[in-house]
Structure 1
Amino acid sequence: MLSHLPSLGVGLGFREPFKSDLFLNRQQVDFLEIVAEHYLDASWQKQQELELLAAHFPIIPHAINLSLGSAEGLDTDYLRKLAVLIKQLNPPWWSEHICFTKAGGVDIGHLSPLPYTQEAVEVVRRNIAEVRRWVDVPLILENITYMVTLPGAEMTEAQFLAEVVERSDCGLLLDITNLHTNAVNYGYDVHEFLQQLPCDRIVQLHFVGGHWHDGVLIDSHSQSTPVEVWQLMEEVVAHVPVKGIILERDENLPPFAELTKELQKAREISRSNGRWG
């Protein structure tokens, strides 16, 4: 199923401050990724914005608050709204994170890691089965960064990601910046990590730069992409026929020309490895 998904190219995570620049540079952006929550219960202005974007770019919805790792199950009211948005956009795929954001009915406000256990794998699988009752568009799942590792692990993080996407029959949105960040902070080998992933399930990549704080690398989406992440992109794209690559800049937004320069570099890496013609 995943191999038949269309190749979208190199694009941007849409952020409202650069909307005007985006339309002045349309030819340099192949597709957009939107934060789904920005368009749930949307105002008239946000709905107009979405229709304008969709008229000019392929759009991938990227959800952040479905909480696929919540043992208590999913918020069906949220899921219904998300399903309406996805149906409206009719994307080739959509994405969420391998994490939980709600516990005991409380929204905890950030992406929290799951324990690397078979029980957690089963929780995610069960929740995704429920999602598919509402949404029949292919779902891809993203690896997150984390400040703590939960006790009781029965496998490595890479093995956990592999188990989740295999058992739930989903694609993988490999955030190579998150991978680099965790590898730096926890001292593991990114190359060994990649070898444990089911590469045939990698559909899309995220990339950007973060910053250092008190000796910890923070995934802040606030800086230009570091050389280590470019090298990681080269390694992944050389071995995996990824369908799309998204630059995900949120903070400290630079002049738009700097963003398009990064998009062009990602495009050159892709082309030099025989992707997208």
Structure 2
Amino acid sequence: MKPLGTGIGWRPEIADAVERMPGIDWVEAVAENLCPGHIPDSLQRLRERGVTVVPHGVSLGLGDAERPAETRLAALAERAQALGSPLVTEHIAFVRAGGPLTASQPLEAGHLLPVPRTRDALDVLCENVRIAQDALPVPLAVENIAALISWPGEEMTEGQFLYELVERTGVRLLIDVANLHTNHVNRGEDPAKALDELPVEAIAYVHVAGGFERDGVWHDSHAHPVPEPVLAILADLASRVTPPGVLLERDENFPAPQELEQELAAIRETVRAGAPVSGECATVTASVTPSAAPAVRPAPVPALASTPVPARQRLALAQAALLSALVAGTPAPEGFDRARLAVQSRALAGKRADVVAKVAPELPEILGTAYRARFLSYARARPMSGGYRRDALDFAERLLLAGQPEDAEARGQLTRWWLERSGPAPLDGRPVTRWLRAARLALRRS
């Protein structure tokens, strides 16, 4: 596999601009945003030009207490094969909690949350990674995430946690230097120390992104220019090892193409300037060059023993308690910073509102400026448990059952939108509100 080079996150909003950008060696596409059996025309044209496309998963939940769902793994494998990708990437994060292991309501975060750096969590993560590796047709690389909160009682640093993960599974790493900066601001973790402890020979590629600071908290927004501290961490990493690939992420507030090209140029220059002197760190550099890596799969790693059920249960209970506090308003688990949990809770709700607006753009069009306030009010009382599309339908149903919106024309538009996406039309003469209630009961019983 050849080195990836310099790339950018492919998003539909900037697809045309990405196709025209000079010097783009590869792109990364969010796997869940690609429809099964269909490659967007823009990505197809890029592939025909020899541009590598890597699917980047965001919902597998490798850090969940539960094992990865076979359906999600199959979908990720399908994207990799359809795109002819040399590898697949996901996150070291948990995204769901509750359910059978805790005999409680299943909950979804709607975003990436940090796993505790404990032995239980590491054992579960290692087994989940091995399950994913066995199900995927190409190598897997996993990404360190940004976090607003810290788990109490952690037993390892991030570098130690990642080192042992790689040692036990053979998985490769996607190192996000913007996330190292985020964790420096939010959790007081030294990026240089993390790089000291990382197995840099396992790096598959690097993410670079922007964010913003508010009230002493850094938000990894992917919607702002890359700041100097993030480039400084990239330079530090490049002085230790030549990264096989570096990619700019941008998900919101897309600037003019020229600004993105300037950021890419700054990234290239940072890597070039930070590169080790010839001969320095030569062994490490050679070992991470993709041409020296296996073409299809990582080297075999001794089979892991199945994670003891008590470890999964302990992790499940801890994650369910945290997620319930964040999305359902239950008391904060002991040892957590309550003020920081409140920040994380607001961030999750805001992210949820933003994604539902993208999944169902008709909702903010129908509700206008009232959309966000109405959705946040709904979200406080209704934790997400069935994905964003289900969330959009439940939100619309909740409004209609409450007789909202007050404007009759808007309420009619919302009713038609809901009915078109929820099933057959109501029986003649049957009040819509009664039908909605009956449909909701049917959905719950299904």
Q: TM-score, normalised by structure 1?
A: 0.91
Greater fraction helix: 2
Q: Pairwise mapping of residues 132-143 of structure 1 onto structure 2 (< 5 A)?
A: 132-143=133-144
Q: Secondary structure at the match of 1:11?
A: strand
Q: What residue in structure 1 maps to residue 25 of structure 2?
A: 30
2:147 is aligned with what amino acid?
Answer: Y
**1:99/1:268 CA distance change after superposition, 3 Å:** same
Matching of residue 144 in structure 1 with residue 145 in structure 2: yes
Instruction: Give me the whole-angstrom Cα distance separating, in 2, the residues matched to 1:185 and 1:220.
Output: 14
Matching of residue 172 in structure 1 with residue 167 in structure 2: no
2:67 is aligned with what amino acid?
Answer: G
Q: What residue in structure 2 maps to residue 51 of structure 1?
A: 44
Per the TM alignment, residue 151 of structure 1 is displaced from its structure 2 partner at its CA by: 2.2
CA contact (8 A) 1:40 1:81 kept: no
Instruction: Give me the whole-angstrom Cα distance separating, in 2, the residues matched to 1:51 and 1:106.
Output: 36
Matching of residue 88 in structure 1 with residue 82 in structure 2: yes
2:233 is aligned with what amino acid?
Answer: L
Matching of residue 156 in structure 1 with residue 157 in structure 2: yes
Gaps of 5+ in 1: none
CA contact (8 A) 1:28 1:263 kept: no
1:235 is aligned with what amino acid?
Answer: D
Q: Secondary structure at the match of 2:223?
A: strand
Q: What residue in structure 1 maps to residue 16 of structure 2?
A: 20
Instruction: Give me the whole-angstrom Cα distance separating, in 2, the residues matched to 1:223 and 1:8.
Output: 24
Aligned length: 269
CA contact (8 A) 2:36 2:78 kept: no
Instruction: Give me the whole-angstrom Cα distance separating, in 1, the residues matched to 2:190 and 2:42.
Output: 42
CA RMSD of aligned residues (A): 1.9
Larger Rg: 2
Instruction: Give me the whole-angstrom Cα distance separating, in 1, the residues matched to 2:188 and 2:169.
Output: 29
Q: Pairwise mapping of residues 1-277 of structure 1 onto structure 2 (< 5 A)?
A: 5-25=1-21, 27-41=22-36, 47-56=40-49, 57-103=51-97, 104=99, 105-272=106-273, 273=275
2:107 is aligned with what amino acid?
Answer: V
Instruction: Give me the whole-angstrom Cα distance separating, in 2, the residues matched to 1:90 and 1:76.
Output: 21
Gaps of 5+ in 2: 100-105, 277-284, 290-446
Per the TM alignment, residue 81 of structure 1 is displaced from its structure 2 partner at its CA by: 1.4
Range with bigger deviation, 141-150 or 102-111: 102-111
Per the TM alignment, residue 20 of structure 1 is displaced from its structure 2 partner at its CA by: 1.5
CA contact (8 A) 1:143 1:174 kept: yes
Aligned residues with identical type, % of pairs: 38
Greater fraction strand: 1
Q: TM-score, normalised by structure 2?
A: 0.57
Per the TM alignment, residue 47 of structure 1 is displaced from its structure 2 partner at its CA by: 4.1
Listed one character per residue, the Cα deviations across residues 13-38 of structure 1 (whole Å, up to 9, x for unaligned) are: 0111111222222x321110000001
Where does structure 1 differ by over 6 angstroms across 4 or more consecutive aligned residues? none
